[in-house]
């Protein structure tokens, strides 16, 4: 059924359901989510933007609607007679729950593991060279840090949702960033995890310049 009332758009959503994570990892669906996180669009607009058939887009939209990643915003009749629905993402930013990704079958866990390893190795370009022997420890620490961060920011408290929706994009983004930092810094567990992570980085710091 078409949703009966306008659904507020969340600033950030951490996706923790392994099935939804798997669904989001399909390239066309990932591209649709990215576009709909930025603006509301019709099937026709998405099809043009992604170079796909409207039918293909419609099937993907239906799947995304079922798992509540995408919602219908409004319906519009055009002068040509078509009746197009506008869709948008449920949140402005989606993060995949790293813990759940690790538990998901079908290559998702491998993808998450490779991604973490790749991030840790990439630090070398800035002068932090973590040796292979320490790679497992480093990726575990990073994983725990991300997991805790996701837990804390996935449900940011908003007192007045209507007022929040009325904010300009810049104000909303900047205020959200300030609040995220505040939430993270007041959590002892996160602070400890971050301290340990930074300690590890310092151990292998071969010349990060200020």
Q: What gap in Å lies between CA 21 and CA 24, rounded to an integer?
A: 5
Part in contact with another protein (CB under 8 A); list of ranges 107-115, 128-136, 139-147, 173-181 = 173-181
Taking CB under 8 A as the rule, does residue 81 contact another protein?
yes
Part in contact with another protein (CB under 8 A); list of ranges 56-64, 136-144, 155-163, 185-193 = 56-64
Taking CB under 8 A as the rule, does residue 151 contact another protein?
no
Which one of residues 80, 132, 160, 206 is an interface residue with another protein (CB under 8 A)? 80
Taking CB under 8 A as the rule, does residue 133 contact another protein?
no
Which one of residues 27, 51, 83, 209 is an interface residue with another protein (CB under 8 A)? 83
Q: What angle do CA 93, 147, 11 make, to 5 degrees?
A: 20
Taking CB under 8 A as the rule, does residue 42 contact another protein?
yes
Instruction: Report the sign of the C-alpha dihedral through residues 29, 35, 38, 40, in that order.
Output: negative
Measured from the CB atom, the residue of 42 and 104 that comes closer to another protein is: 42
Taking CB under 8 A as the rule, does residue 54 contact another protein?
yes
Q: Give min distance, CB of 44 to another protein, in A.
A: 4
- Site for another protein, rule CB under 8 A: 1-6, 38-40, 42-44, 47, 53-56, 58-59, 62, 65-66, 73-85, 88, 168-170, 173-174, 177-178, 180-181
């Amino acid at each position: 059924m078409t949703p009966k009332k306008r659904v507020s758009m969340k600033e950030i959503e951490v996706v923790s359901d392994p099935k939804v994570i798997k669904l989001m990892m399909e390239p066309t669906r990932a591209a649709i989510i990215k576009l709909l996180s930025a603006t509301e669009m019709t099937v026709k607009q998405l099809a043009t933007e992604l170079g796909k058939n409207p039918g293909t887009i419609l099937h993907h939209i239906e799947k995304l609607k079922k798992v509540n990643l995408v919602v219908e915003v409004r319906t519009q009749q055009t002068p040509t007679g078509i009746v197009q629905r506008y869709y948008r993402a449920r949140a402005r930013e989606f993060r995949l729950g790293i813990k759940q990704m690790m538990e998901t079958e079908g290559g998702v866990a491998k993808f998450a593991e490779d991604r973490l390893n790749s991030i840790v190795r990439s630090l070398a370009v800035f002068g932090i060279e973590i040796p292979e022997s320490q790679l497992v420890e480093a990726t575990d620490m990073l994983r725990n840090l991300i997991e805790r961060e996701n837990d804390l920011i996935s449900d940011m408290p908003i007192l007045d949702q209507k007022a929040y929706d009325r904010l300009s994009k810049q104000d909303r983004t900047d205020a959200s960033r300030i609040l995220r930092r505040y939430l993270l810094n007041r959590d002892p567990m996160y602070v400890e995890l971050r301290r340990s992570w930074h300690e590890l980085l310092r151990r292998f710091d071969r010349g990060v310049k200020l």
